Structure 1
Amino acid sequence: MSDSTQSSHIYLNSKVITLENTPSNESFEFHQKLPFYTATPLKAAPITAARLGVRHVWVKDESNRLGLPAYKILGASWATYRELETRFGPFQSWSNLDELKEQLKNIDVTLVSATDGNHGRAVARMAKWLGLKVHILVPYDMVHSRQQAIKEEGAQIEVVNGTYDEAVAKSATMAGEKYLVISDTAWEGYERVPNWVVEGYGTIFREVDEQLKPQPDLVAVQMGVGSLASSVVRHYRSLNHTTHVLGVEPMHAACVLHSLEADELVEVPGPHTSIMAGLNCGKTSPLAWPLLRYGLSGSVAVNDSFAEEAMRLLAQDGIVSGESGAAGLAGLLALSTDSTRQALGINPNSSLLIISTEGATDPQAYERIVGRSHHTIKN
């Protein structure tokens, strides 16, 4: 069932099924060996809860994850490790990255990835930790601050005269003996690495299980190519959970929503110009698609005004969340009818979980939207 307004477009999924799935603990154990590991905080957002008319809103704050301002390092690090082990392993037992780096010292390989910001920086950080070269492809319209952050990790940047999807396509052509592509989206013949990316994100929800009891009634999650949403579905739509999952996308890059409506993968051509830069994707990962098709309770596409409102609202609760980070809340703000909220199990007693996937990765834009620097916001 679809409901569309000029500023949002909502689809309620009638195909939801319970998934028989038991996520692995391996990636969680791996992440605990990495520098700066600690569980990211789960923060209460009472002002946001009042605005949404629910009992609790909880925000998993990924603005400082393993020393980076976004969650992407979880997927990038696990996928890089597993792919290196597949190509050059098995590795001897190791307890810290210096011991792993020593085992890679004679390997001549360059990590390659396409990115709209955070994933590429995460791959570059993993390359720096392991002493490897790294080549990152970015779309032509990536803001300078995000490009600069990737360069500061030691990466060689290539600006592609096209969209994120075109950068992904070009990265795929570079795969070879000395180039290891670490992508969070899949294509024909390339699914192993993206699957490990999804596994890596599972650490977020292992931590939430320890931080939040009982389970939330609904998780609102942003969707680019669908990898993070896949991880949410794997965790919360298993036999032991009845949690609803709401996917959120920019209005003009809503490839998952349109695919759900068509009941098949649909591409949304660019340009994709939302301020939610991490979600400007026109193609759903085919690896993610089956999980999203049968695991999402609903999908909502929103225009940028909802993301801006969400950023300001979270700031009132002392939470710094960038444009893409606030997208989950943006989707909840767009649920304008009682019937839609009821279909998603939202009522005055509900407990909702939002994944704030990034901090202020574009500080100038953040200050313009919120009206003050992210440095002035304290929980």
Structure 2
Amino acid sequence: MRPDAGGWHCAPASAETRAFHAELPDYAPTPLTELPALAVELGVGRVFVKDESCRLGLPAFKALGASWAIHRVLAERAADGIQPDPVTFVAATDGNHGRAVARMARRHGQHAHVFVPQGVHPRAVAAIVDEGAKVTEVPAPYDEAVRRAAEAAAAADAVLVQDTALPGHERITEWIVEGYSTLCAEIDEQLAAQGVTEEPALVCVPVGVGSLAQAVITHYRSRGFGPAPALLAVEPEAAACVLASLTRGEAVGVTTGETAMAGLNCGTPSSLAWPYLHGGLDAAVAVPDSAAARAAARLAALGVSSGPCGAAALAGLRLVLTGAGADARRTALGLDTTSVVVLLSTEGTAANPHHLVEDR
């Protein structure tokens, strides 16, 4: 728990991103679904789930960042008069980001080379291949796949499109984070349409390297009206690098283990995201795979398709609001029986073959 985070402020995200996404032929806001049964279970006023199980034709939110970043890269190359030869976009991924990069590269007539770490399910790898990408499997954790992707991009004069910042590539990571801001803008509009006239009391965000959380923090910590929401980061116990970093007060790496929350299996916070995570998160929690599986099953019973990464938001909220010390945590987060809570379900079941095949 971090009681001073609500007073932290930052500059707003670019206003251009939402307009760009709105012009894409397959764009539509993803649903914000109210689940009254969860509100009763959790002792709050209203619970909404932002359902990212189908975003721009893919089963996760990642296409928002990849589409905007690739658009910006190609637009800048055209403005600089660079010959329009096919560009190779390189990325490391646990599944969803790489597939999004491959899809957006193909849409623009470009190439993609995607590096995947150990533990990524063969069906997730096959989905990336089906998008026309070259895939290199790395027999090592995610952080090593990122390093190798960066090396390959440099050696081939290709463009690294990575959602964790690396020296010399921060601007593209910034564009990816900007792309995610469309999700937050949609939530504002959808809450208003459902009669919520103030900021939600709490927003729960699954966290890998922290780029989505950076976008969420930027959205809510750059506004000057009303009380700011509390922001809760949720990670797997097997890869809780943000929790470890907040505990230490500095960005640190952790040794990751196996987890069904493959998209969150990251050992180091993004250097670009870290100042936002450190300044703007009210709380962080790590959850076991079993809690994510139970949360996914509960969401499915309520009509929301959510893989383990997406369901982590509910798993984390349950852990925070129950058990020893729960009353103190509710008070610290400013929650009561009238509070509005938003959960970000960042992927559908189709994005995570582990969930479908092993249910671990």
Structure-1-length-normalised TM-score: 0.87
Identity %: 47
Cα deviation for residue 85 of structure 1 reads 2.4
**Is 1:259 paired with 2:245?**
yes
Counterpart of 1:352, as a letter, is V
Q: Which residue of 2 aligns with 1:298?
A: 283
User: Taking structure 1 as reference, are residues 364 and 223 closer, same or farther at Cα in structure 2, changes over 3 Å only?
Assistant: closer
Q: Give yes or no for the alignment of 1:35 onto 2:25.
A: yes
Q: How far apart are the structure 1 equivalents of 2:176 and 2:201?
A: 25
Aligned match of 2:217: 233
Deviation at 1:15?
4.9
CA distance in 1, matches of 2:213, 2:10: 17
Give the corresponding residue for 1:182. Answer: 161
Is this contact kept in 2: 1:74–1:200, CA < 8 A? yes
Cα distance in 2 between the residues matched to 1:86 and 1:268 = 36
Cα distance in 1 between the residues matched to 2:262 and 2:232: 19
Cα pair 2:202 2:342 within 8 Å, conserved: yes
Letter in 2 for 1:187: L
CA displacement 1:315-341 (0-9 Å, x = unmatched): 121101001011111110111311012
Q: Which amino acid aligns with 1:284?
A: P
Shift of 1:189: 2.7
Confirm or deny that 1:209 pairs with 2:195.
Answer: no
Distance 1:368 1:138 in 2: 20
Q: How does 1:75-90 map to 2 (within 5 A)?
A: 75-89=65-79
Give the number of equivalent residue pairs.
Answer: 347
Q: 1:229: how far off?
A: 0.3
> Which residue among 67, 71, 92 is the counterpart of 2:61?
71
User: Which of 28, 42, 46 is the equivalent residue of 1:52?
Assistant: 42
Cα-to-partner distance string for 1:102-143 (whole Å, 9 max, x where unaligned): x98x41321100000000000000011011111000012210
Give, in angstroms, the shift of residue 53 of structure 1. Answer: 1.2
Q: Is the 8 A contact 1:165 1:283 kept in 2?
A: yes
Residues 276-315 of structure 1 aligned to structure 2 (within 5 Å): 276-315=261-300
Q: Which structure 1 segments of 5+ residues have no match? A: 1-10, 92-102, 371-379
Partner of 1:153: 131
Cα RMSD for the two superposed structures: 1.9
**In 2 relative to 1, CA 47–363 (structure 1 residues): closer, same or farther, beyond 3 Å?**
farther
**Which residue identity lines up with residue 235 of structure 2 in the other structure?**
E
| Aligned counterparts of 1:21 and 1:351: Cα–Cα separation in 2 | 25
For residues 180-203 of structure 1, what are the alpha-carbon distances to aligned partners after superposition, in whole Å with 9 as ceiling and x for unaligned? 110000122321111111100000
Paired residue type of 2:251: L
Matches within 5 A, 1:1-379: 11-12=1-2, 14-89=4-79, 106-176=84-154, 178-212=157-191, 213-214=196-197, 215-238=199-222, 239-241=224-226, 242-270=228-256, 272-335=257-320, 336=322, 337-360=326-349, 361-363=351-353, 365-366=355-356, 369=359
Deviation of the 1:206 alpha carbon = 0.8
Q: How far apart in 2 are the matches of 1:17 and 1:289? A: 17
Question: In terms of mean alpha carbon deviation, does 336-345 or 280-289 score higher?
Answer: 336-345
Report the Cα offset of residue 22 of structure 1. 2.5
1:21 is paired with a residue of what secondary structure? coil
> What are the ranges of 5 or more consecutive residues in structure 2 without an aligned counterpart?
none
CA distance in 2, matches of 1:364, 1:355: 20
Deviation at residue 355 of structure 1 after TM alignment? 0.9
What is the Cα deviation at residue 161 of structure 1? Answer: 1.3
Verify the 8 A CA contact 2:143 2:267 in the aligned structure 1: yes
What secondary structure sits across from 1:69 in the alignment? coil
**Rounded Cα–Cα distance in structure 1 between residues aligned with 2:359 and 2:44:** 26
Could you say what secondary structure the match of 1:48 adopts?
helix
State the alpha-carbon separation in 1 of the partners of residues 235 and 99 from structure 2: 22
Secondary structure, aligned partner of 1:135: strand
Is the contact made by 1:16 and 1:293 (CA closer than 8 Å) also made in structure 2?
no
Q: Which amino acid aligns with 2:44?
A: V
Distance apart, 1:16 and its partner CA: 4.7
Counterpart of 1:320, as a letter, is S
Conserved 8 A contact 2:260-2:355: no
Q: Deviations over 1:284-328 (max 9, x none)?
A: 001000111010001111111211111111112110100101111
